[in-house]
Chain A
């Protein structure tokens, strides 16, 4: 293992935190769906890929900056998520977990390969004027798009917190998460709440996609890289815990950045998978102790 001067390590840690916030946003959608619907959405990664292609098309066809594309993509993806849960996943589940696992797997296969058929396997990226700009923080240089990603990710988390905590919709979602039958008995339309929750989770992906695109690439399999990371974050932060997802995201971002620094890019990924396996095997309720 090589040793690095402290400012390089500190820069890696900070960059890890910045990317980690966007990971956290991806995981936020996953954990919210898990917390309310108690399902593992295997199509989460493929939906992220779809959103990234959405942002790419918005840029290449309509000339929209990825950050501006957040505005149209969020409602589109909310509607998409709502429809998918209401008309595909919900009716297919029939109360059996393995059905949901299979149907979301089927969905991810269709999305990923549909995108492959349309866009082919080329790796695409957008050119934005601010891609190479940096923010100076003492001796450290931080990529501008990553800083924006960090800020917006936390903003979204805050908005979500307010929505869940203070609006009627949020109360209904929390009621369904806690006690489905009770919520149905007091007149909450559970299927509607499920679909809304799924829509919010998918909308989070639309934001994450627009934040990622300026400093990342897109290809039909890009979601796979994120899906295991997001699952790792979710089990680490405690299934269904919103603050856990953010903290877990930051932690995983730092782990990835540091293991990339010390072990190289490709082996760096293993660190995340190993954490995932170890947490699942020994601490399935998550490090932050949220109830599973």
Chain B
């Protein structure tokens, strides 16, 4: 990784960091923070799905585990939110490793891997919906106590910068992965697993590293979500919506590229906001557009929006 590799990331971070100086309306900051959280979750999916070619339909398992971890450690054990956040991320990584060991050791790939990840997320959702420690169906409310040392801020802009810092960190991590030995092996496994193994790549351990990293990054998004909205229930934390969002953004923006998930996340949520102003708050309309977009980009190769634009220009 050379300084030149980091230049676009630094440029993006600098430009995005200036936004709150011009945009001060609460609703806009809210929108931008939410979009960044999605971008972070999507960046996590991208590590496993984009670079590794293992399509997970259940990234909610990681998002929710870190979200609940962050909330429960504060509420039930009085841990400070920052270490609670870190512990939540570690828990999500651990869940990633465990699901990885179970699924990859059994040789699940393709559709089977997608199905088993979906099933894991659903098991977590049902458990969280009925267990006592997660507050059951009523959910968990993190106590409002606005102090910076408590990971709660007076100004939304502070939260925006933290979210941006985490997204930037994930971008650097992905760039490092792209340039690293692990990343090269991961792409080799994606393109042709048997050939990669014949060349001496330990496919299992490569995929395990990827799903652990992936779980941690998507987990960071979950912890951030809990800390920002201060409320969680099973359908938010482990709901299919986040599994779908985490997958859609990289696919639309360009899976297996560093900026793909961020680009996809911004496109999707700008589009969602735009439709909302156009047709009003009809539930589901934004997702209809997401789904139609997904069908379109898959229907017309190359499979993402940057690719589509290139095709039109030709």
User: Which A residues contact B (CB, under 8 angstroms)?
Assistant: 39-40, 88, 91-92, 94, 97-99, 101-103, 105-110, 112-117, 120-121, 220, 224, 228, 231, 235, 266-267, 269-270, 273-274, 276-277, 280-282, 284
CB–CB A121/B298 < 8 A: no
B111: nearest residue on chain A (CB-CB)?
Answer: A40
CB–CB A101/B108 < 8 A: no
- Most B CB contacts (10 A, CB to CB) among A105, A228, A274 go to A105
Given A280-B108, A280-B115, A281-B106: A113 and B291 within 8 A (CB)? Answer: yes
Alpha-carbon gap, A203 to B298, bound state (A): 26
CB–CB B295/A117 < 8 A: no
Whole-angstrom distance between the Cβ of B306 and the nearest chain A Cβ: 17
Could you show 24 A-B contacts with beta carbons less than 8 Å apart?
A40-B114, A88-B299, A92-B295, A92-B298, A103-B294, A103-B298, A103-B299, A106-B293, A106-B295, A112-B284, A113-B284, A113-B285, A117-B282, A117-B283, A117-B285, A120-B283, A121-B283, A228-B119, A228-B122, A280-B115, A280-B119, A281-B108, A282-B106, A284-B112
Partner of A105, one of B122, B123, B294, B303: B294
Given A110-B291, A224-B240, A284-B106: A99 and B298 within 8 A (CB)? Answer: yes
B129 at interface, CB cutoff 8 A: yes
Partner of B126, one of A102, A112, A266: A266
What are the residues of chain A within 8 A of B103 when measuring CB–CB?
281
Partner of B116, one of A94, A105, A108, A280: A280
Given A270-B127, A280-B112: A105 and B282 within 8 A (CB)? Answer: no
CB–CB A110/B292 < 8 A: yes
A99: nearest residue on chain B (CB-CB)?
Answer: B298
Given contacts A269-B122, A274-B123, A280-B106, 19 further A-B contacts (CB under 8 A): A39-B111, A97-B111, A98-B53, A98-B55, A101-B110, A102-B55, A102-B298, A109-B287, A109-B291, A110-B291, A113-B285, A114-B288, A117-B282, A120-B283, A228-B119, A277-B120, A281-B108, A282-B106, A284-B106
Alpha-carbon gap, A107 to B129, bound state (A): 28
Partner of A266, one of B106, B114, B129, B295: B129
What are the residues of chain A within 8 A of B119 when measuring CB–CB?
228, 273, 276-277, 280
What are the residues of chain B within 8 A of A91 when measuring CB–CB?
299
B286: nearest residue on chain A (CB-CB)?
Answer: A113
What are the residues of chain B within 8 A of A112 when measuring CB–CB?
284, 287
Whole-angstrom distance between the Cβ of B172 and the nearest chain A Cβ: 27
What are the residues of chain B within 8 A of A121 when measuring CB–CB?
283
B118 at interface, CB cutoff 8 A: yes
Alpha-carbon gap, A107 to B114, bound state (A): 16
B interface: dominant SS: helix
What are the residues of chain B within 8 A of A277 when measuring CB–CB?
102, 116, 119-120, 123
Partner of B291, one of A106, A267, A281, A282: A106
B130 at interface, CB cutoff 8 A: yes
Alpha-carbon gap, A277 to B290, bound state (A): 29
Whole-angstrom distance between the Cβ of A51 and the nearest chain B Cβ: 18
Partner of A101, one of B111, B122, B283, B288: B111
Contact string, B270-309, partner A, CB cutoff 8 A, digits 1/0? 0000000000001111011011111100110101000000
Alpha-carbon gap, A137 to B164, bound state (A): 65
What are the residues of chain B within 8 A of A39 when measuring CB–CB?
111
A104: nearest residue on chain B (CB-CB)?
Answer: B295
CB–CB B126/A273 < 8 A: yes
A38: nearest residue on chain B (CB-CB)?
Answer: B111
Partner of A110, one of B111, B127, B240, B288: B288
Alpha-carbon gap, A108 to B288, bound state (A): 9
CB–CB A266/B130 < 8 A: yes
What are the residues of chain A within 8 A of B244 when measuring CB–CB?
105, 109
Partner of B290, one of A109, A231, A267, A281: A109
CB–CB B283/A116 < 8 A: yes
- Most B CB contacts (10 A, CB to CB) among A94, A98, A220 go to A98
B228 at interface, CB cutoff 8 A: no
Alpha-carbon gap, A280 to B130, bound state (A): 25
CB–CB B116/A281 < 8 A: yes
Partner of A116, one of B55, B284, B290, B292: B284
